[in-house]
Amino acid sequence: MTQLAILRFPDPRLNTVAKPVTAFDARLRALADDMLETMYAAEGVGLAATQVDVHERLIVIDTSEGRDQPIVLVNPTITWSSPETKINDEGCLSVPGIYDGVE
């Protein structure tokens, strides 16, 4: 696995619209593995492919306490949301050191 460079704001490549993943192959698996390694090394809980200059709809996350339950989302869509809301602090690996409440 390889650690990838994370794009930092205000890099204009962060504004690139991601395209759907169409090939579910070894390249996609390797990219997801590299993204997880990069996210863990940066002590993040989530990373989108666009943040590593790959403009496909791929996200990796791991919110587990043990950092041992990674989730890989390919072409994710929001199909439901709760009417309940909660405010949590959020950060972004592309905007290091800045955290704020997000509802």
**Which domains does the chain carry?**
12-102 (3.90.45.10)
Tell me: the pLDDT tens digits for 36-78? Answer: 999 999 999 999 999 999 999 999 999 999 999 999 999 999 9
Strand, coil or helix: what is 84?
coil
pLDDT grade for 101, boundaries at 50, 70 and 90? very high
DSSP for 15-34 reads GPPPBPP---SHHHHHHHHH
Write down the pLDDT at residue 1. 82
Tell me: the pLDDT tens digits for 11-34? Answer: 999 999 999 999 999 999 999 999
Structure tokens at 68: 């041992």
